[in-house]
A = this chain, B = another copy of it.
Amino acid sequence: MRKRVPTSSRRRASALMLALCTLLLLAAPSGAQTDPLPSWNDGPAKKAIVDFVQSTTDKASPKFVAPEARIATFDQDGTLWVEQPMYTQVLYCLDQVPAVVAKKPELKNVEPFKTVLSGNREAIVKLPTKDLEVILMATLSGMSVEEFRAEAEKWLAAAKHRRWDRPYTELTYQPMQEVLQYLRANGYRTYIVTGGGQDFVRVYSEKVYGIAPEQVVGTAGGTKYGYDKSGRPFLTKEPRLLLNDNNAGKPEGIHLMIGRRPYAAFGNSTGDRQMLEYTGAGDGARLMMLVLHDDATREYAYGPATGLPTSKVGTFTQALYDEAQRKGWTVISVKKDWKRIFGFEP
């Protein structure tokens, strides 16, 4: 047994030590005041972020936010990483079609499977949304959650974006990675709130963004509990939509999964409008930001807001732009506000 020091002298020793450490730390020269957002150019967007963080974490500020209430939500596609020319998850699903058809040969000559199997990229890109939804349901259900995870991990490790010839997981926006880190360093819990599949994003969110699976809210299907032959329980992904985490589904998903209103919300398209409205409707300081992709040279340019080319993927309408202006949301210009786009750039 451990020899025990009498409590009172132990307490005195501990108190002395604490006082010494405190003194030493107070006497320390202040650390270099490094810029938390080095990939941002100075301007209204960067200032809005820094002002928000400083005022909501300063106890003397009327805008102070209690640590437990510090929630920030981020759309993923087009906000945290590249979504052009097509959402990464849709590419994953298209690549799974041959495997699905191999299991169910009757789908071979049925649309939209037939078009996807043809490999005709032009025709595939033109598939209407409801056809893509059929592909998504067919390729994202019917397997155990572990099988799905393994399949998605394998694909993500191998697949590359044609333009940059790099894995999709490297195509995250460095300026937004800095915002995530800066908010977390100031006590904010960062959530992804994505129209993409919750299970898909959870496969890589921790490694890519430092965001834990339980902090990913996304479009979610139901699962079904069952047992294998040996009696071991497992969950099967079902083709049954529980939450369409787009548009009004974003605040609904936030209520379901987090149960608190965010203090900051970041998006880039009409699908994020309601999330920003809901965030902005709260009391006190709130930060609402929208990324506008206006840099065809370094990344992509699409809107149609401000006269940019229109796009089916990540549509940023003029109406959304006008609402942002009216409500004091900050529009981030990729061209003007971001010094650097990707972490792999010099």
List residues of chain A with CB under 8 Å of any chain B CB: 2, 4-5, 7, 9-10, 13-14, 17, 20-21, 24-25, 27-33, 68, 71, 145, 189, 198-199, 202, 206, 212-214, 216, 220, 222-225, 232-235, 242-243, 248, 251-252, 255-260, 274, 277-278, 281
Contact = CB atoms under 8 A, between A and B. Distances in A.
B225 A252 contact: yes
Contact of A14 (B29, B252, B277): B29
Contact of A257 (B4, B234, B257): B257
Nearest to A145: B255
A24 B24 CA distance: 11
B198 A259 contact: yes
B13 A17 contact: no
Given A213-B259, A256-B220, A25 B17 contact: yes
B213 A258 contact: yes
A198 B260 CA distance: 13
Contacts of A198: 256, 259
Nearest to A259: B213
Contacts of A20: 24
A177 to B, nearest CB: 19
A14 B274 CA distance: 47
Contacts of A29: 5, 9-10, 13-14
Contact of A24 (B17, B252, B255, B277): B17
A223 B274 contact: no
A255 B235 contact: yes
Given A233-B278, A251-B225, A255-B145, A25 B21 contact: yes
